[in-house]
Amino acid sequence: MRDIAVKIVNFTKKFGNFTAVDNLNLEIFDKEIFGLLGPNGSGKSTTLLTIATVYKPTSGDIIVYGHSVSREDYEVRKLVGIAFQDPKALWIDKVEDMLEWHARVVGYSRSDARKIVKEVLETLDLWEHRNKYFYQLSGGTRKKLELAKVLIQKPRLAILDEPTAQVDVPTKHKLWNIIRELRDEGSTIIIATNDMFEAEKVCERIGIIYKGRLVAVDTVSGLKDRIPAGDVIEVVVEGDGRITKVVEELSAIGRVEYSNGILRIYVEKGEEKAVIVADMLRTRGFKVKSLMIKEPTLDDVFMYFTGARLTSGFEQ
């Protein structure tokens, strides 16, 4: 059993009559990198902002390391650092001043604040921008500045709302490493993202929300296994004399296609079924020239749990 960092219990958030998050129940483990996925407007930011005590739950509660966001927001705030989806700052703020102020607020002495700000600015390649005003920064640089605040704070719970949106590809890879290091140093991390590659690269477990409701939680490979017939076992065989018989037998495992010496079998848990397929072919006298398992992408997973629901009547 892993320790629990955040326990979301029957959490509902309404704005007027509109329900943005609908009875969410979710546990986030200590020191994991948890990804929150969902279409635009599904309630990711609303959930993160409530964990960070910016919003109050309409009903239900969120417990952060034993403290309720509704009743002990002051305690929760000491444990949480958040990088907002839309970085905002006073137009007159300069990068270095802004971060030094932030470092002082989270408890650094004046000299330590100066030291940590320099260190983080260098880590994020922001040092050259230190004397710029916020309004002079590009969109991607503003996002890095937002992350800088969390890196300075090193909170027990780091909440990152689309941390690499607007950031170029090499920088994304660098930020993912930095996020992993933050976890290795002891922080629990929750990331909201619409970047499936990012989710697959950095998140150990993923929760998918759709219209304010949680529709799936699992590891990336666990989610992939849940797509019916999502894996394809592709086998190149030699000698197609009795192939129709084999195709018939393989149909017990999953839908089978055969053309030009290539068998395709659509299954779940492809890695387990592949062994059975290979054995069956060998005992029927076929030579397996190559065998490949193609698993669904996280895009497919996302579409299955969200997009597919729009068209195929899955909606509850």
Ligand X SMILES: Nc1ncnc2c1ncn2[C@@H]1O[C@H](COP(=O)(O)OP(=O)(O)OP(=O)(O)O)[C@@H](O)[C@H]1O
For ligand X, the binding residues (CB under 6 A) are 15, 20, 38, 40-46, 85, 194
Please, what is the angle between helix 243-250 and helix 270-283, to 10°? 150
Of positions 42, 45, 153, 188, contacts Mg ion by CB under 5 A: 45
Residue whose CB is less far from ligand X, 85 or 297: 85
Q: How far is the CB of 108 from Mg ion (least distance, A)?
A: 30
By a kind-dependent CB cut-off of 5 to 8 A, residue 15 interacts, out of Mg ion, ligand X, none, with ligand X
Task: Considering the complex, state which of residue 44 and residue 67 has its C-beta at the smaller distance from Mg ion.
Answer: 44
- Taking Cα atoms as reference points, which of 287, 290, 236 lies closest to residue 258? 236
Contacts of 195 (CB under 8 A, 6+ apart): 162, 164, 165
Q: How far apart are CA 46 and CA 36, in angstroms?
A: 12
Query: For Mg ion, which stretch binds (CB under 5 A), given 82-90, 128-136, 164-172, 251-259?
Result: 82-90
Say how far apart CA 119 and CA 88 lie, in whole Å.
Answer: 22
Q: Is the distance from CB of 58 to CB of 12 less than 8 angstroms?
A: yes
Q: Name the amino acid, one letter, at 266.
A: Y
CB 38, min distance to Mg ion, A: 9
Measured from the CB atom, is 45 or 53 closer to Mg ion? 45
Q: Which does 121 bind (CB under 5 to 8 A by kind): Mg ion, ligand X, none?
A: none
Among residues 66, 92, 61, 94, the alpha carbon closest in space to that of 78 is found at 66
Residue nearest to Mg ion (CB): 45
**Element containing residue 100 per DSSP (H, E):** helix 95-105
Q: Segment contacting Mg ion (CB under 5 A): 27-35, 44-52, 254-262, 290-298?
A: 44-52
Stretch that binds Mg ion, among 41-49, 91-99, 106-114, 193-201 (CB under 5 A): 41-49
163 binding partner (options Mg ion, ligand X, none; Cβ < 5 to 8 Å by kind): none
Please say which residue, 36 or 202, places its beta carbon nearer to ligand X: 36
Q: The tokens 């477990």 sit on which residue?
A: 205
CB 273 within 8 A of CB 293: no
